[in-house]
Amino acid sequence: MGNGKLYLIPNFVYKGNKNDISINQLSIIYSITEFIVESEKVTRMFLKSIEHPVKQDNFMFHLYNEHNLNIVDFNEIFKNVKLGENIGLISDAGIPCVADPGSKVVEYAHKNNIKIVPMGGSSSIFLALMASGMNGQQFTFNGYLPLDTSKRLKKLKSMEKEVESSGTTQIFMETPYRNNQLLEMLVKTLNSETVLFIAAGIHSPNQIFERKKIKFWKNFKIDLNKIPTIFIIGN
């Protein structure tokens, strides 16, 4: 018997249900009972929201997140896959392996001749880029900025310089409870003519899309605390 497959399963950016997923993809997800997940609780909520026909007690979950990156035994996780069973990789939000640790899971699959099947779904990063009106031909996703203040300032100026010299759009994010502090730093640090776009709470009833030059952000009041947010600078 050959290896099973690794399915890369998108989660909702916000809340959703089975009607938000194609019938073909839904049938594939319904056929899988073993998953690699960031959070068991979040994944159970996702599977419940899409009305997965298997009882919750019959799922098998393997945790893989920032807390156990270096101690996970992939040989154990993929044991059933090597016996012909399929497994799914699910992110807490959006598509797996982009701004989350799933890439190592996929790397293991490549090295062990396990077929990888990425499934279509929403990504807050690309949804934000689409809504920004900025250069979508040349862009860089920078992930989370450094925590150290001096390194963060240096990174911001480096990104701004790249925008000015090549027109390459710069995309980045922050832990939601630090969003307001980052916005304050952006307003104080970036040039007044630099354009900043903010996409917050994408797909939620109160989603925010705001695009302004830094000089106009200085007098614009917005509270991004604990709201998942994508920041983009460009021209």
Ramachandran region, residue 61 (left: φ > 0; alpha: ψ -120 to 50; beta: rest): beta
Q: Please state the separation of Cα 142 from the chain's center in Å.
A: 12
Of 159, 111, 157, 116, the closest CA to residue 139 belongs to 159
What are the residue ranges of CATH 3.40.1010.10 in the chain?
A: 5-118
CATH superfamily for 5-118 is Tetrapyrrole methylase, N-terminal domain (3.40.1010.10)
DSSP strand pairing (195-200 vs 229-234): antiparallel
- pLDDT per residue rounded down to tens, the chain (235 residues): 689 999 999 999 988 888 889 999 999 999 999 999 999 999 999 999 999 999 999 999 999 987 787 888 999 999 999 999 999 999 999 999 988 889 999 999 999 999 999 999 989 999 999 999 999 999 999 999 999 999 999 999 999 999 999 999 999 999 999 999 999 999 999 999 999 999 999 999 999 999 999 999 999 999 999 999 999 999 8
DSSP β-bridge partners for residue 198? 210, 231
Q: In this structure, are residues 202 and 228 in contact, taking their beta carbons and an 8 Å threshold?
A: yes
Q: Where in the chain is the domain with CATH 3.30.950.10?
A: 124-234
What is the CATH number that goes with domain 124-234? 3.30.950.10
